[in-house]
Amino acid sequence: MARVYNFSAGPSMLPEPVLKKAAAEMLDYEGTGQSVMEMSHRSKAFDKIIKDAEALLREVMNIPDNYKVMFVQGGGSTQFAMVALNLMNKNNKADYIVTGQWAKKALQEAQRYGDAVAVASSADKTFTYIPKTDKSMFREDADYVYICMNNTIYGTVYHELPDTGDIPLVADISSCIVSEPIDVSKFGLLFAGAQKNMSGAGVTIVIAREDLIGNAMDITPTMLNYKTHADADSLYNTPPCYAIYIAKLVLEWIKNDIGGLDKMKELNEKKAKLLYDFLDSSEMFNGTVVPEDRSLMNVPFVTGDAELDAKFVKESTEAGFVNLKGHRTVGGMRASIYNAMPYEGVEKLVEFMKKFEADNK
Ligand SMILES: *Cc1c(COP(=O)(O)O)cnc(C)c1O
């Protein structure tokens, strides 16, 4: 069977060269006579894989030396608790900007452990924009300010970061990591579940400024303490070895095949522009997000008619464009066009949408 164009929000498409390389190395990884899935996480071969993955991530993302990189488990969702337990440690206060479900879940989790509040929200317009903030809106004694950088469900992204002054900024970058360059030094901590843009499910990447590690609340479980993973170079216990290996292959693909994050951004912008330009010109399909906050990665759109939406989802699936149904809380459609979605996939989708519009006038 031919491969489909998979517009899933996550897990999502991986670059074909990565899948081919993994397939070729499945039975015998570099002469070890075993697959990466079978080898000890303490073996020399795996030690090289995890060290290479970290070195590549540092190089590709230009991560400063005073930041630790950790490969942990539990998905983006476990970070909602980890961030609060580890960072809400001076005044037990944290300020959240609520731009969708993921930020809201993070806030609710933090409220279990301290005085966490929403200082701004875009719930009034179904999260179709990024609320404007200024420094005066944050509590001076907040331990951190939290944002969800790219809102996977609603299709918004921060093109400009909030000014938090000296308060560390924490960001969930699950659905935009390695999609474009990002100035890591502007953040106290970044995290990303890898299954959107970097690997398969199983590994979560945490990038944390060193001075923020080591002051977790007393109640913090050992496995949820960043210090545990930072001190052990992510080998305190068995890490998600195979997902780390795939992340390494993806990073090699970005570095060697694509040419780095500046180039990746160019490709992503070109891809997204094609779809947004069509949505702006179409009489049937409409994007749901205000133009200035549109995500490069997740593009929600509607026809305004639930039956027509359903017909579109059904017919597009049959034509080989899968997982275009919108999130269950939003309805309509959503095309997730992460790094691995080829330009040609968006081009063909737009052709299909044009034809659908003509046929259903
Ligand atoms: C998918 C997603 C999550 C949740 O990730 P899990 O790994 O499923 O826990 C959190 N934040 C964002 C922005 C996401 O896109």
Give me the pLDDT at residue 53, please: 98
Q: Tens digit of pLDDT for each residue in 220-273? A: 999 999 999 999 999 999 999 999 999 999 999 999 999 999 999 999 999 999
Residue 76 CB–ligand 1 contact under 6 Å: yes
Residue 41 — pLDDT band, cuts 50, 70, 90? very high
The pLDDT of residue 361 is above 90: no
Q: Whose CA is nearest to atom 12 of ligand 1?
A: 174
Q: What is the position in ligand 1's atom list of the atom closest to the CA of 153?
A: 15
Q: Tens digit of pLDDT for each residue in 113-146? A: 999 999 999 999 999 999 999 999 999 999 999 9
CA of 83 from ligand 1 middle (Å) equals: 14
Region of poorest pLDDT, from 71-80, 162-171, 321-330: 321-330
pLDDT, mean of residues 3-21: 97
pLDDT, mean of residues 192-220: 98
How far is residue 106's CA from residue 322's CA, in Å, rounded to a whole number? 29
Q: Whose CA is nearest to atom 10 of ligand 1?
A: 76
Out of 98, 174, 191, 297, give the residue to mutate to test ligand 1, the one with the largest number of ligand atoms within 8 Å of its CB.
174
Residue 99 — pLDDT band, cuts 50, 70, 90? very high
CA of 123 from ligand 1 middle (Å) equals: 19
The pLDDT of residue 283 is above 80: yes
Mean pLDDT score across all residues of the chain: 97
163: which strand partners? none
| pLDDT more than 90, % of the chain | 98
Q: What is the position in ligand 1's atom list of the atom closest to the CA of 148?
A: 13
Residue 174 CB–ligand 1 contact under 6 Å: yes
CA of 252 from ligand 1 middle (Å) equals: 24
Q: Whose CA is nearest to atom 5 of ligand 1?
A: 76
Q: What is the position in ligand 1's atom list of the atom closest to the CA of 102?
A: 11
| Residues catalogued as catalytic | 102, 172, 196
Residue 158 CB–ligand 1 contact under 6 Å: no
The pLDDT of residue 328 is above 90: no
Residue 75 CB–ligand 1 contact under 6 Å: yes
Domains of the chain: 5-15+259-359 (3.90.1150.10), 17-257 (3.40.640.10)
The pLDDT of residue 1 is above 70: no
Give me the pLDDT at residue 329, please: 81
The pLDDT of residue 105 is above 70: yes
3-state secondary structure the chain: CCCCEECCCCCCCCCHHHHHHHHHCCCCCCCCCCCCCCCCCCCHHHHHHHHHHHHHHHHHHCCCCCEEEEEECCHHHHHHHHHHHHHCCCCCEEEEEECCHHHHHHHHHHCCCCEEEEEEECHHHCCCCCCCCCHHHCCCCCCEEEEECEECCCCEECCCCCCCCCCCEEEECCCCCCCCCCCHHHCCEEEEECCCCCCCCCCEEEEEEHHHCCCCCCCCCHHHCHHHHHHCCCCCCCCCHHHHHHHHHHHHHHHHHHCCHHHHHHHHHHHHHHHHHHHHHCCCCEECCCHHHECCCEEEEECCCHHHHHHHHHHHHHCCEECCECCCCCCCEEEECCCCCCHHHHHHHHHHHHHHHHHCC
Residue 10 CB–ligand 1 contact under 6 Å: yes
Contacts of residue 185, defined as CB under 8 A and 6 or more positions apart, other chains included, come to 64
| Spatial CA neighbour of 210 closest among 194, 226, 195 | 226
